């Protein structure tokens, strides 16, 4: 009672319980000194054991990645994956800076420019040094390998010589035998065939021996040392930064928005003074050119930096897409579910549709929804809805919602609505008879019975359904985006798959974790909602 912290103990525990982060409960209780031994045991069970297993997993992953060789290189190990994550972030950061550079004007532009130029001046010698280091390390490596390879090469030469020798010998032997053959003597001929066979198989083994020695040499030649790899990595980093700085400077100078606007305005003014000095054909030409420049000026003023999409932009777009689809699905599923729960006749009418459409895979829905969406919006640039959506302020407009987005969202809706529908129907149908009796005694009308009794009592189950739906929707969405090329996480994976850069594979592994973590967060959010609408004794208290 003396400690003010003691007042927040139970609210804190309640918040932990509602949010579903139950593993934090023992920690809080331990901080308040409640049964330390019991809490320690729980902490061990729910915090330490998982951490140990995560470490174990990383370890196994590291080992396994060395063993699994593919055409696109080895399976990325945890370190490589982390580096890929870093490079994704760096890319996003640089794109943001470039955008800022494009929009910078006046003093700020100059400031940024000097900063970029300074940095570039700094980095050029560093990059050169890195390149030199690479050549040097490679040369070192070559020398080092040469001593390893020399004896094997020697071995190769001697065996090759020996094999040619023996082959020649066998050949002459066979020639000799062939001359001594007696016509008609089948047995002799049979044995001759036998010796030819032996000769050929002997030659084959010799060839494969030589081949395997060659492979060994190649392997050693290709085996890269850690030093070379490190030098290469440094070189790549330097080259990337150099390239970025050059682009940034471009955005600050040649491609800068304010500069472009200025130069065009200047051009118009110049042309106008020139125009006022002439008449006739010349004047018409000048006036036309002014009008042309003016329209270009308007366009430049309205233009935005053409930012290539970063993973985080795609993640946000995917989240918007999944919620659009989820909302769409829920708007269909909840009313139909309520009707199914209320009327067994309606349920009977709906059952065949549910049974048939529920198992349909997103891969089947997507092409259909894509055709319908692009049929409804044949020309997105002219469509008023699209124009409206693109004109929305902030990122909502930048998302450039297009038919592919709508098709993906519709696919999410079609695949995810079933869980909500079934759970809503169940929730409404399994309402407590006593509650209905109360409603009858109170003579509640249909609507107040629906909104005051039936829906509140079905809410926990409805939310349990919504939670499943959102999970399914998130899974479906990635596949839908991958197929529809709707800008999003799925497209990111597809681009990486087709890209084939050295870290594409690692970036795909990064996406696994990004998708997993976002799915987890979405699930947690739904759990919180579900807890909030649940009541004592309701069917879906977790």
Partner 1 sequence: MSTSLNSKFVEISHLVKEYPNPYGEDFRVIENFNLNIKQGEFISLIGHSGCGKSTVLTMLAGLNEISDGGIIVGDKEIDGPGPDRAVVFQAPCLMPWMTAYQNVMLGVKNVYPHATKSVQKQIVEHSLSIVGLSDAMKKLPNEMSGGMQQRVGIARAIALKPKMLLLDEPFGRLDSLTRMELQDVIINILAEENLTAMIVTHDVDEAVFMADRCVMMSNGPKAGVGEIMEINFPRPRNRQDVFNDPMFFRYREHLLAFLEQRSHIKGKTRLHNHEDLIGYLSSEDLKSLEAQYQD
Give 3-state DSSP helix, strand, coil % of the chain, rounded to 5: 85, 0, 15
CB of 435 to partner 1, least distance (A): 6
Phi, psi of 443 (to 5 degrees): 55, 45
- Judged by beta carbon, residue 58 or residue 533, the one nearer partner 1 is 533
Give the separation between CA 59 and CA 66, rounded to whole angstroms. Answer: 11
Does position 477 bind partner 1 by CB under 8 A? no
Interface positions, 382-441, toward partner 1 (CB under 8 A): 432, 434-435, 437-438, 440-441
- Judged by beta carbon, residue 456 or residue 519, the one nearer partner 1 is 456
Give the separation between CA 328 and CA 336, rounded to whole angstroms. Answer: 13
* Residue span binding partner 1 (CB under 8 A) among the ranges 252-260, 364-372, 374-382, 529-537: 529-537
Q: What is the DSSP string of 90-109?
A: HHHHHHHHHHHHHH--HHHH
- Judged by beta carbon, residue 421 or residue 439, the one nearer partner 1 is 439
Q: 280: which DSSP letter?
A: T
CB of 441 to partner 1, least distance (A): 5
Does position 453 bind partner 1 by CB under 8 A? yes
- Judged by beta carbon, residue 314 or residue 457, the one nearer partner 1 is 457
Does position 532 bind partner 1 by CB under 8 A? no
β-pair partners for 74: 69
CB of 420 to partner 1, least distance (A): 20
- Judged by beta carbon, residue 133 or residue 455, the one nearer partner 1 is 455
- Judged by beta carbon, residue 179 or residue 443, the one nearer partner 1 is 443
Does position 531 bind partner 1 by CB under 8 A? no
Give the separation between CA 23 and CA 26, rounded to whole angstroms. Answer: 7
- DSSP three-state, residue 69: strand
- Judged by beta carbon, residue 414 or residue 466, the one nearer partner 1 is 466
What is the helix (H) or strand (E) element at residue 70, kind and residue range? strand 69-70
CB of 432 to partner 1, least distance (A): 8
- Judged by beta carbon, residue 274 or residue 450, the one nearer partner 1 is 450
* Residue span binding partner 1 (CB under 8 A) among the ranges 250-258, 314-322, 382-390, 453-461: 453-461
CA 15-16-17 angle, 5° bins: 90
Helix 257-275 × helix 281-302 angle, to 10°: 160
Does position 456 bind partner 1 by CB under 8 A? yes
Give me the half-sphere count of Cα atoms (radius 13 Å) on the Cβ side of residue 451: 3
CB of 437 to partner 1, least distance (A): 5
β-pair partners for 73: 70
Q: How far is CA 200 from CA 174, 179, 194, 214, 505, in A?
A: 11, 19, 10, 21, 45
- Judged by beta carbon, residue 369 or residue 538, the one nearer partner 1 is 538
**One character per residue 148-187, x = contact with partner 1 (rule: CB under 8 A):** ----------------------------------------
CB of 465 to partner 1, least distance (A): 18
Does position 538 bind partner 1 by CB under 8 A? yes
Interface positions, 433-452, toward partner 1 (CB under 8 A): 434-435, 437-438, 440-445, 448, 452
* Residue span binding partner 1 (CB under 8 A) among the ranges 181-189, 207-215, 359-367, 528-536: 528-536
- Judged by beta carbon, residue 311 or residue 439, the one nearer partner 1 is 439
- Counting other chains too, the contacts that 352-355 makes at CB distance below 8 Å and 24 or more residues apart are 354/418, 354/421, 354/422
Interface positions, 79-118, toward partner 1 (CB under 8 A): none
Q: What is the DSSP string of 124-188?
A: HHHHHHHHHHHHHHHHHHHHHHHHHHHHHHHHHHHHHHHHHHHHHHHHHHHHHHHHTPPTT-HHH
CB of 444 to partner 1, least distance (A): 6
- b/e per residue 437-461 (b: at least 16 CB within 10 A): eebeeeebeeeebbeebbbebbbbb
Give the separation between CA 380 and CA 534, rounded to whole angstroms. Answer: 44
CB of 244 to partner 1, least distance (A): 57
- By CB neighbour count within 10 A (0-12 exposed, 13-18 middle, 19+ buried), where does 416 fall? buried
- Judged by beta carbon, residue 199 or residue 452, the one nearer partner 1 is 452
- Judged by beta carbon, residue 97 or residue 444, the one nearer partner 1 is 444
CB of 525 to partner 1, least distance (A): 21
CB of 438 to partner 1, least distance (A): 5
Q: How many residues bind partner 1 (CB under 8 A)?
A: 22
CB of 443 to partner 1, least distance (A): 6
- Judged by beta carbon, residue 362 or residue 465, the one nearer partner 1 is 465
CB of 346 to partner 1, least distance (A): 24
Nearest to 320 by CA among 392, 248, 239: 392
Give the separation between CA 24 and CA 477, rounded to whole angstroms. Answer: 32
Out of 280, 352, 375, 537, the residue judged to bind partner 1 by CB under 8 A: 537
Does position 73 bind partner 1 by CB under 8 A? no
Give the separation between CA 542 and CA 535, rounded to whole angstroms. Answer: 11
- Judged by beta carbon, residue 134 or residue 453, the one nearer partner 1 is 453
Contact 343, 429 (CB under 8 A): no
Rg (CA), the chain: 36
* Contacts with partner 1, residue ranges (CB under 8 A): 432, 434-435, 437-438, 440-445, 448, 452-453, 456-457, 459, 533, 535-538
């Amino acid at each position: 009672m003396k400690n003010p912290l003691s007042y927040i103990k139970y609210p804190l525990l309640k918040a932990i319980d509602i949010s579903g982060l139950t593993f934090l409960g023992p920690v809080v209780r331990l901080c308040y000194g409640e049964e330390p031994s019991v809490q320690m045991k729980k902490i061990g069970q729910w915090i330490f054991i998982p951490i140990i297993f995560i470490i174990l997993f990383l370890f196994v992953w590291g080992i396994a990645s060395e063993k699994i060789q593919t055409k696109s290189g080895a399976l990325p190990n945890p370190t490589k994956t982390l580096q890929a994550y870093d490079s994704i972030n760096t890319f996003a950061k640089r794109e943001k800076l470039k955008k800022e550079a494009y929009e910078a004007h006046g003093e700020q532009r100059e400031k940024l420019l000097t900063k970029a130029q300074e940095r570039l001046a700094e980095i050029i010698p560093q990059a050169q040094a890195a390149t030199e280091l690479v050549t040097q390390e490679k040369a070192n490596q070559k020398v080092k390998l040469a001593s390893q390879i020399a004896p094997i090469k020697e071995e190769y030469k001697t065996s090759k010589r020996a094999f040619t020798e023996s082959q020649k010998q066998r050949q002459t032997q066979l020639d000799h035998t062939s001359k001594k053959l007696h016509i008609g003597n089948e047995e002799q001929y049979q044995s001759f065939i036998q010796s030819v066979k032996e000769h050929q198989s002997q030659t084959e083994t010799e060839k494969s021996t030589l081949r395997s020695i060659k492979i060994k040499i190649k392997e050693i030649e290709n085996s890269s040392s850690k030093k070379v790899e490190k030098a290469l990595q440094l070189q790549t980093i330097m080259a990337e930064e150099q390239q970025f700085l050059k682009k940034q400077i471009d955005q600050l100078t040649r491609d800068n928005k304010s500069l472009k606007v200025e130069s065009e305005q200047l051009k118009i003014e110049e042309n106008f003074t020139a125009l006022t000095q002439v008449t006739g054909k010349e004047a018409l030409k000048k006036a036309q050119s002014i009008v042309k420049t003016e329209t270009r000026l308007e366009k430049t003023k309205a233009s935005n930096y053409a930012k290539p999409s970063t993973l985080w932009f795609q993640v946000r777009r995917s989240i918007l897409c999944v919620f659009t689809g989820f909302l769409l699905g829920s708007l269909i599923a909840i009313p139909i579910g309520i009707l199914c729960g209320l009327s067994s006749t309606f349920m009977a009418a709906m059952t065949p549709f549910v049974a048939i459409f529920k198992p349909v895979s997103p891969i089947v829905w997507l092409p259909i929804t894509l055709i319908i969406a692009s049929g409804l919006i044949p020309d997105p640039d002219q469509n008023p809805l699209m124009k409206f959506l693109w004109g929305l302020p902030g990122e909502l407009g930048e998302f450039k919602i297009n038919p592919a987005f709508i098709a993906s969202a519709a696919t999410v809706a079609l695949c995810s609505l079933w869980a909500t529908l079934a759970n809503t129907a169940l929730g409404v149908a399994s309402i407590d008879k006593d509650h209905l009796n109360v409603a009858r005694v109170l003579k509640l009308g249909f609507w107040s019975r629906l909104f005051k009794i039936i829906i509140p009592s079905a809410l926990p189950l409805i939310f349990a359904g919504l939670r499943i739906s959102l999970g399914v929707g998130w899974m479906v969405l990635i596949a839908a985006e991958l197929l529809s090329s709707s800008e999003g996480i799925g497209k990111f994976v597809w681009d990486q798959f087709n890209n084939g850069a050295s870290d594409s594979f690692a970036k795909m592994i990064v996406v696994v974790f990004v998708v997993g973590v976002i799915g987890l967060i979405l699930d947690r959010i739904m759990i919180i909602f579900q807890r909030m609408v649940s009541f004592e004794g309701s069917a879906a208290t977790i």
